[in-house]
Every structure is written in C-alpha cells, then in structure tokens.
Structure 1
C-alpha cells in the first residue's frame, strides 16, 4: 500500500487518527466502519469514499460536516478502488471458470452490456468514480516509485497484434529486460503484443529466464485464443514468482479494448474504463521518454499525442521519443518526416526524436535522460 498523508486506506492508519480524535480534512477510503464508533471524532470536511456504514452512522457523519459517497451496488467492480489491480486481481475466477469467468472478463461483459463507451447515467457515474479511484491509486504508486528510485519512468508503445514468438515480440522483451536492469520503470498500455513483451522482459529475473519464458509463451502465440493465452501467462508467472514490488513495471490498459486480454506481467495495473483518460495518463506518466515499436493506428495516435505534449510542454519537460526500426518509421509510416519540421518551430524544446535499430542505444538514450 502506498501511503499518503491525507488519505486513510487501512484500519491501522485509521486507529492512528482515532487516537487523535480527528479525521477532519482527510479522505477515508474503502474501509468497513461498521462497529467502529466515530461519535467523539471530529469529521468536519472528512470524505468517506466507498466505506461500509449503516444508515444511521452515515446520516450522523453528514450531519456533522462529513461527505459520504457509498459504493454503487449494481456494478461488478468497485466504484472507489483504493489500490491498483494486480494480475491476481484480474484473473480471479480463471482457475474455476476459465477466461469467461474471471474478473476481467466479467467486468468487460458488464461494460459492453451497459452501453460500452456510451453508458447510461448510472453506469457512467460508476465508471467515472472507479476511474477516479484508479487516478488516485496511480498517483500514489508513482509517488512511491519516485521516492524510492532515481530511475526514469519509460513508456513502451507498439502493436497489440504482435504474436508471441515473433522477432518484434522478442525485441520488445529484450528492451524491457534492459530497461529494468538499468533501473527504469517500464510502463505500457497494458495490452498484448509489444506491450506484453516489454512488461514480460521487466518481470523475469534474468536474460536466461527470458529466453525460457519466450519459448514457453510461443506455444500460445495469439491473444484471440483467450484460454491458452492466459493460461500460458499464468504458468510463466508461477514459474518465476517475484517478491520485488515493481517486477514487470506498470501497465495502464482499458476495458474499451476488453476483447484484448490485459497482459499479466506488470506488477501494478491501472485499468480504466475511459480510454481518453487512460491515453493521456500513459503519456503524462512516461516523463522519462517513450519507445515506439512498429504499430498501427493506436500507436500513431500515441506518437502525435506525445509530440503535442512535448511541443507545448504541457506536462513539463518530455523525455526522448525513440522510434525502434528505422525502416518502418521512415518508409512504412514516415512520422519522422512530420515530427522533425514540427519541432524546429519550438526551438526551446530539446531534440526529442531519435531513430534506431539498436535496443542498447535506445536504453542508453533513455537512462541517461533525466526530466526536470
């Protein structure tokens, strides 16, 4: 749990404040407060989010100046999550009921059945509350990383359809391993393909383990075969259990693309309903730079969204934009030809566009950069 000074997310934290007889100005999140007396505790301007309270207790808190926002009961997901997801959270139910019965799939079906990206009012509110909780938990997690490490947060983007076992998949996994070895936090969009490969590389403990994992995963190459695809990922995780809190890095997927299974190799998973918020969040978090492996429309969208942030410095100084595979980014999708002239119009922005075919060169550029 990533503690923050104005949030109370565990009963142990709550007891500290109860001894002080005040919760004023704090946010209390996701706690079962039934049976805990708050009668002699100051609660003016306290925010109770998703806490279990009986009706008289909730009414008393509001009467004494608190705000109470309960869980919305109709949804199969928490409307006030206080922590990020893990692979274990998303795959609850897989062992008993397969891919269709696990938490991630249940939530995706609910999302589709309730309007998808255009939900009715109750579902829209539930989704926004959920994503607000993920925003907060992600902010806590990134603050914890920054306080414990001097390594950059580096994004890895690329094609979601890249099969396990391909040359590009192996290259992305090698990149993830090298970035983790250099002390960087690997951040991806949380999907399959290049994204899974980068988190996989950051998850396994060594280059030798990565070779073995790549071979094992290649037996289930395509994410459209949901059952064997997920089973293979869980088998690799079981083979290489890790106590490292950031093993595999961070991923930020979305249920908008819930037909694509979230990759299971990130230590922490910030899964959103809103893809627009999710995309902006990925690029805002990756202040140490981004590697763009070959991809299609989604990757190109991220390229120009990242370029906009770098050009206007809307989130502060940006890290390098590194394009892996020169031929692809100059001949197939010639984005460099557009980006370099663009950045000449912003002379105060350091050179951020780099093309390379060399993973080691990409890692050196990223790990020697330190954003302000």
Structure 2
C-alpha cells in the first residue's frame, strides 16, 4: 500500500560535514567551489596551464617582498647619500638642468653619493653631475605605462614596480633631500619626506627646495592657509629650506647629517 507521500518533494542529499571538498594552504582553508583542481607545483611546472594565479594578491605580496630584498641588497653598502628630485621634463639647455648638474657634482665633492629617480630631466642632471665628478650615481626607476628607462649617467640602477617600495628606498638610504622644481611625482616625494620628519619617523633629515620663484608660492600657501587654520605649525614649516644658491643648498642638506 502506498503511504500517501509518493508525490512529496524530497530535500536533495547533502554531504556530511566532513565530506565537503577542503584544501589547506598554510593558515588558509578553502572549501567547496573555492578548492582548486590543481596544486601550486602543478601550476608552476605545467607551462600550458592557467596563469591567472600570477595576478592574485598572494603572489603580489611575494613580488613586493622581492622588491624590498633587491633594493636593500643593492643599496646596503652605498654609504652616505643625498636624494635629488625634480621634473623629468626639465630641458637639458635650461638653468634648472645646469643647477641639477652643479648640485650633483657638489654633493659628490662633499662626500655623498647621489640618488635620483633615474629618469631624464632634473634627475639626469643630478646623476650626470655626480657621474662626471667620479662619484656614485644611483637611479631608482619606476615601471610606468610610458617607458622612460634609466638615464645613461646612472652607475647603480634599480627598477621598481611599486611607488611605495621605491619611496622607502629614497628615505632609508638618503640623509636628506634636495628638491628642484617638479610636478606631482616630485611633490609626492617631498610631502612623503615632510610627513616622516614631522611625525619623527625619521630624524636629522634636512629638506631643501631649490628655486625660490618656483617654491615660494607653495610655502606662502602653507603659511597662509595650512598653518593659519591650525592644520600645521610654524615649526613644521621650518622643516623646509628654500634657496637659489647651489653652495647653500649643499651646505643646508649636509648640515646635521651623519
């Protein structure tokens, strides 16, 4: 006899709790649809397999780590150094380019290696001055959609994928910054350094802005708006030194460094 429940809808079978597909990757647990069908070494050795894993965040962490390792390894024995920043668009026949060369040369004569972003313009000028003075000329390049490459006056060059790794190298291996007129990238590096000094993440780190006509407006705005509204103090503003004199710029940036 029929029980009368022949037409009832039955719930599909569900696996027991321990029957779900599961894979452990160190501290990471993946289950159900998140379990991959291949292992890490299979994906490494099978050149015909999928390569999407190369673009996943865990792999990016390894790339970031490798950039730090390469940067530290290349610069650990550099010795005292000063970073010189400025626009990649500075023409070679300009007074700014000439000033960059003189600054690079003067820093070498003062006993420092010269570090730049490794590109053209003001960066090339400082590298050129250091190279022609037979000093150590360093370029820390960055991967960009529009390729620049390291200028020909770089003796030690490291190319980075990530801006934040590159900026760490500038601060870690420099005893101060000289900043020539530049655009957003130059200002990014300038305010990164200012923030680190203001918050005392780094100490004894002079910052010199070269070119009064270019930088005075920025300083005036900081004073009239930022300081005036209590967002910073006059002491913070005193972290910046502005000059048009190459010898003074070198003296200021070398003052107080080890």
Task: Give the counterpart of 1:280 among 164, 168, 172.
Answer: 168
In the alignment, which residue of structure 2 is the partner of 1:122? 54
Q: Are residue 369 (structure 1) and residue 256 (structure 2) matched?
A: yes
Question: In 2, Cα distance between the equivalents of 1:73 and 1:313?
Answer: 50
Counterparts of 1:291-306 in structure 2 under 5 Å? 291-306=178-193
For structure 2, which runs of at least 5 residues remain unmatched after alignment? Answer: 1-40
In the alignment, which residue of structure 2 is the partner of 1:20? none
For structure 1, which runs of at least 5 residues remain unmatched after alignment? Answer: 1-67, 75-118, 147-151, 206-243
In the alignment, which residue of structure 1 is the partner of 2:141? 253
Classify 1:272/1:126 alpha carbon distance in 2 versus 1 (closer, same or farther; 3 Å): farther
Question: In 2, Cα distance between the equivalents of 1:364 and 1:278?
Answer: 26
Q: Are residue 327 (structure 1) and residue 176 (structure 2) matched?
A: no
Contact persistence 1:204–1:248 (CA under 8 A):
no
Question: In 2, Cα distance between the equivalents of 1:127 and 1:73?
Answer: 20
In the alignment, which residue of structure 1 is the partner of 2:233? 344
Q: Which has the higher strand share?
A: 2
Contact persistence 2:67–2:165 (CA under 8 A):
no
Contact persistence 1:174–1:201 (CA under 8 A):
yes
Task: Give the counterpart of 1:309 among 176, 196, 200.
Answer: 196
Offset of residue 165 of structure 1: 2.1
Q: What is the TM-score normalised by the length of structure 2?
A: 0.69
In the alignment, which residue of structure 2 is the partner of 1:161? 89
Offset of residue 270 of structure 1: 1.7
Offset of residue 186 of structure 1: 0.8
In the alignment, which residue of structure 2 is the partner of 1:182? 110
1:106-150 CA distances to partner (integer Å, 9 max, x unpaired)?
Answer: xxxxxxxxxxxxx9540466665455334223323433133xxxx
Contact persistence 1:156–1:293 (CA under 8 A):
yes
Question: In 2, Cα distance between the equivalents of 1:72 and 1:327?
Answer: 59
Q: How many residues are paired up?
A: 207
Question: In 1, Cα distance between the equivalents of 2:145 and 2:91?
Answer: 17
Contact persistence 2:68–2:165 (CA under 8 A):
no
1:137-186 CA distances to partner (integer Å, 9 max, x unpaired)?
Answer: 3323433133xxxxx32111111111222211111011101101111111
Classify 1:196/1:251 alpha carbon distance in 2 versus 1 (closer, same or farther; 3 Å): same
Q: What SS does the corresponding residue of 2:194 show, helix, strand or coil? A: helix
Which of these two proteins has the greater Rg computed from alpha carbons? 2
Q: What SS does the corresponding residue of 2:161 show, helix, strand or coil? A: coil
Task: Give the counterpart of 1:136 among 44, 65, 69.
Answer: 69
1:294-334 CA distances to partner (integer Å, 9 max, x unpaired)?
Answer: 111111222211111111122x2041111101111113xx1
Q: Are residue 195 (structure 1) and residue 123 (structure 2) matched?
A: yes
In the alignment, which residue of structure 2 is the partner of 1:236? none
Question: In 1, Cα distance between the equivalents of 2:104 and 2:199?
Answer: 29
Contact persistence 1:256–1:275 (CA under 8 A):
no
Question: In 2, Cα distance between the equivalents of 1:259 and 1:120?
Answer: 25
Q: What is the TM-score normalised by the length of structure 1?
A: 0.49
How large is the Cα RMSD of the aligned pairs? Answer: 3.1
1:16-51 CA distances to partner (integer Å, 9 max, x unpaired)?
Answer: xxxxxxxxxxxxxxxxxxxxxxxxxxxxxxxxxxxx
1:222-255 CA distances to partner (integer Å, 9 max, x unpaired)?
Answer: xxxxxxxxxxxxxxxxxxxxxx7xx442221111
Question: In 2, Cα distance between the equivalents of 1:120 and 1:362?
Answer: 50
Question: In 2, Cα distance between the equivalents of 1:298 and 1:283?
Answer: 15
In the alignment, which residue of structure 1 is the partner of 2:243? 356
